[in-house]
Structure 1
Amino acid sequence: MSKEYDVAIIGAGTAGLTAQEEVVKHTDNYVLIDDGPLGTTCARVGCMPSKALIAVADDFHKCSFFDEYGIDGAKGLIPDHQRIMARVRSMRDEFSGGVIQEMSGFMDKVIRKRAEFLDPNTLDLGDETIRAKSIIIATGSKPFIPDSWLPFKEFIIDTDQFFELETLPKTMAVFGLGAVGIELGQALHRLGVRVTVISRRKTAGGLTDPKLAEYAFDHFSKEMHIELGTAQILGKTPTGLEVGCGSKRWSVDRVLIATGRRPGLQDLNLKNLKVDLDAKGMPVFNPETLQVGDLPVFLAGDVNGLKPVLHEAADDGTIAGYNACAGTMARFKKRIPLQITFSSPDIAIAGLSHKALTEKGIDYVVGEASWEELGRARMMLGKAAGRARIYAEPQKGRLLGAELMAPAGEHMAHLLALAMGANLTIKEILGMPFYHPVPEEALLDAFLQIATQITDPVSMPILQRIKGKPHG
């Protein structure tokens, strides 16, 4: 006889754990199912270990400018790749261990088995079946390797395997210039690995604005070897692989596949839900409720393919957890979109991207900023690069979105998202202080450009007159 639960959650990553936090507010009769390693994608193979490696690479890269600073001897410094990777793994284990420790209070609710659907309320766990009034799918995403490359798998590293490397290879090809490709590719290059990056598009870090995408591609191409075209694996060599792009060929020790991740739906037997699946096996679901069709099934986190970033996955877990326990479906308004790539300079998109604005047919004006000649950026050797394009509605100049590549861009993206969330007009934004000298100062140029293009005129400078009697 099957065990009965109010809610079953498949997947103990960020979305699944956040769903558990919401579900437990409503019922103690739930179960969390996961047969893989615990600790969340972010802590084990994503956000955290990659930033640990990037921090080392960026600090070591500063040595190349020490002569200009007037500091001698830096050229004698040598990165010990084995010790670097050991430190990264140590930090990784600490982060993922913290997540597992947080689960200790409800480990009696965790089943370490693989789940498949028998119907919308029943899961096959291999040696038992369980039934649940609602089921949350939070199985995350997985790296994708095309079938034609599988014969070379011994020399291929995906993003789930990268941080298990005991040391770094001497040469590596990186396929893809998205967030992971540019982050790890640049870090590897700065640590002395001979890197060849192959990108199908002339962009980097997910930028969609054609002007900014081309600028970013050209900028990173000056630092490391980037080829534009379709990546190929042509065969094995005595020590690795021969890879190609167009008519060009290289021999490398390893290939890092950074062409994206796919929702982890393949092993769930979703055909038993009796709903339509698209070509990638994704069922139709409501992005505001996360409900699959009219079934008691919900898709939360990276598995739904909407926005594969941690805070969005956490929000999805809360939404799915709430609706899985509620009598009626509640629709939720999402936060201002925000994505950051931790390259150097940072790449970020806040609010609507250029692509989203274009596809939605939204009218906008644009202001541009540059860090190439900014005094503060020039003081920090190697940082005087970057541009931003900020989009605003043409009436009062309320910000719609922004794409940027900038030093300290991770912080500016948050400020821009905050302005969008507060629905500030350009007049209100220009009423805020812009300190000198800081990298954020460059944004003022973009805001002033927007102010000259909107239909509601803005006089400069903007100062708030204090009402009442002046004080001596």
Structure 2
Amino acid sequence: MSKEYDVAIIGAGTAGLTAQEEVVKHTDNYVLIDDGPLGTTCARVGCMPSKALIAVADDFHKCSFFDEYGILGAKGLVPDHKKIMARVRSMRDEFSGGVIQEMSGFMDKVIRKRARFLDANTLDLGDETIRAKSIIIATGSKPYIPEPWLPFKEFIIDTDQFFELETLPRTMAVFGLGVIGIELGQALHRIGVQVTAVSRRKTAGGLTDPKLEEYAFEHFSKEMHIELGTAEIFGKTETGLEVGAGSKRWTVDRVLIATGRRPMLHNLNLESLKLDMDTKGMPVFDSETLQIGNLPVFLAGDVNGLKPILHEAADDGTIAGYNACAGTMARFKKRIPLHITFSSPDIAIAGLSHKALTEKGIDYVVGEASWEELGRARMILGKAAGRARIYADPQKGRLLGAEIMAPAGEHMAHLLAWAMGANLTIKEILGMPFYHPVPEEALLDAFFQIAAQITEPVPMPILEKRKDRPHGKE
């Protein structure tokens, strides 16, 4: 006799745990199924340990211009890779341990087994079957290694394995310059690993605007060695691998695969549900309800392939948890998109990207900002690099999106996303204070350029007269 539940959640990552928080508001008759390591992708192998390594790398990198500041002797400092990785793992364990501790109040609801579908309401757990009125798939994603490279796995490190390294190799190839590739590649380079990154085209960190892609690629190429072309592995050497891109070949001790992650769907026996699949082999589902077809099955978090970002996965968990318990499907409006790459300078996209605007055929005007001559960036922060392109509607100048590569870009991306969420016009934005000297000051140039291009005139400067008493009288 199968046990009966109102909701079964497959996966105890960010989306699954957030779904649990929502489900428990409606019913106590649920189960959370996960046969893998607990602690979420972000805490174990993603956002948090990578930022711990990046913090060390950025601090050590500052030594390279200490002489210029008048601080002498820093060139004698040497990074201890074994101690660096031990500290990163220690922090990783603390982060993931905190997540597991938070689960202690409902561990009696957790089943540590692998689940496979028998039908839309029945799951096979190996030694038992269970039934649920609704099922949430929140199994996350995992790194992908192309099949031709599998014979070389002993020399290949994926992003799930990286933080288990006790020390770091002398030389490393980093395949891919997306978010993970540029973050870890730059960090490794800064703490003394001889890094050669490989990118298929001139871009970095998820940027889509051609002008910024070119700028970012040229900037990072000055700091670390980057080869253009399709990454290849030719064979083993005495100590590592012979790799290449284009017409170039070289040898490395290890290869870090940073070419992306894929949804973990293959072991769920989804074939039994006879689903409609898209061109990428993904189940067709509603992005606003997360329901798969008309089935009582929902796809939440990284596994749905939409936006593999923690806050998006958490929102997905809430949506799926609510709809799994509701009698009718509720459609949810998503937050303003926000993507941040923690490189140096930061790379960020707030709102619609250049690619999204182009594909949707949305008309826009552009304002450009630069940090190359900004005094605070050059003299105080020591980072004289960065540009941004901000897109706005041609009538009132409401912000549509922005692509940024800038010092403190992570903070400016938030401000821009909030302005988009508040639906501010360029007139309202220019009515806000901009302090001097701060990195945000550079955004003024972009805003003034937008104001000059829109159809609704904007007075310069924007100073509103007080309405409660005559101007100039106190």
Q: Normalised by the shorter chain, which TM-score bucket? A: over 0.9
What residue is the counterpart of 1:15 in the other structure? 15
> What one-letter code is carried by the residue in structure 2 that aligns with 1:468?
D
Instruction: Give, in whole Å, the separation in 1 of the partners of 2:199 and 2:272.
Output: 38
Contact 1:243-1:251 within 8 A present in 2 as well: yes
Q: Map of 1:156-175 to 2, 5 A cutoff?
A: 156-175=156-175
Instruction: Give, in whole Å, the separation in 2 of the partners of 1:382 and 1:37.
Output: 41
What residue is the counterpart of 2:392 in the other structure? 392
1:349-390 residue CA offsets vs partner (Å, 9 max, x unmatched): 000000000000000000000000000000135411000000
TM-score (norm 1): 0.99
What residue is the counterpart of 2:147 in the other structure? 147
Contact 1:266-1:281 within 8 A present in 2 as well: no
What residue is the counterpart of 1:100 in the other structure? 100
Q: 3-state SS of the aligned residue for 2:249?
A: strand
Greater displacement, 265-274 / 189-198:
265-274
Stretches of 4+ moved more than 6 A in 1? none
> What one-letter code is carried by the residue in structure 1 that aligns with 2:172?
M
> What one-letter code is carried by the residue in structure 1 that aligns with 2:132?
A
Structure 1 residue 62 and structure 2 residue 62: aligned?
yes
Unmatched 5+ stretches in structure 2: none
Contact 1:173-1:252 within 8 A present in 2 as well: yes
Instruction: Give, in whole Å, the separation in 2 of the partners of 1:426 and 1:14.
Output: 36
What residue is the counterpart of 2:218 in the other structure? 218
Q: 3-state SS of the aligned residue for 1:394?
A: coil
Give the deviation of 1:279 after TM superposition. 4.7
Instruction: Give, in whole Å, the separation in 1 of the partners of 2:49 and 2:455.
Output: 47
1:140-171 residue CA offsets vs partner (Å, 9 max, x unmatched): 00000000000000000000000000001000
What residue is the counterpart of 1:423 in the other structure? 423
Q: Map of 1:114-133 to 2, 5 A cutoff?
A: 114-133=114-133
Contact 1:7-1:29 within 8 A present in 2 as well: yes
TM-score (norm 2): 0.99
Instruction: Give, in whole Å, the separation in 2 of the partners of 1:344 and 1:72.
Output: 24
What residue is the counterpart of 1:81 in the other structure? 81
Unmatched 5+ stretches in structure 1: none
What residue is the counterpart of 1:328 in the other structure? 328
RMSD: 0.7
Q: Map of 1:186-201 to 2, 5 A cutoff?
A: 186-201=186-201
Give the deviation of 1:277 after TM superposition. 2.1
What residue is the counterpart of 2:452 in the other structure? 452
Q: Map of 1:349-364 to 2, 5 A cutoff?
A: 349-364=349-364
What residue is the counterpart of 2:300 in the other structure? 300
Q: 3-state SS of the aligned residue for 1:359?
A: helix
Give the deviation of 1:401 after TM superposition. 0.1
How many residue pairs align between the two structures? Answer: 472
What residue is the counterpart of 1:206 in the other structure? 206
What residue is the counterpart of 2:32 in the other structure? 32
What residue is the counterpart of 2:243 in the other structure? 243
What residue is the counterpart of 2:51 in the other structure? 51
1:59-93 residue CA offsets vs partner (Å, 9 max, x unmatched): 00000000100011001000000000000000000
What residue is the counterpart of 1:412 in the other structure? 412
What residue is the counterpart of 2:135 in the other structure? 135
Instruction: Give, in whole Å, the separation in 2 of the partners of 1:52 and 1:174.
Output: 19
Contact 1:65-1:381 within 8 A present in 2 as well: no
Instruction: Give, in whole Å, the separation in 2 of the partners of 1:238 and 1:376.
Output: 49
Give the deviation of 1:274 after TM superposition. 1.1
Q: 3-state SS of the aligned residue for 1:4?
A: strand
> What one-letter code is carried by the residue in structure 2 that aligns with 1:435?
Y
**How high is the sequence identity, in percent, across the aligned residues?**
89
Give the deviation of 1:201 after TM superposition. 1.8
CA 227–382 in structure 1, closer or farther in 2 if over 3 Å, else same:
farther
Contact 1:12-1:138 within 8 A present in 2 as well: yes
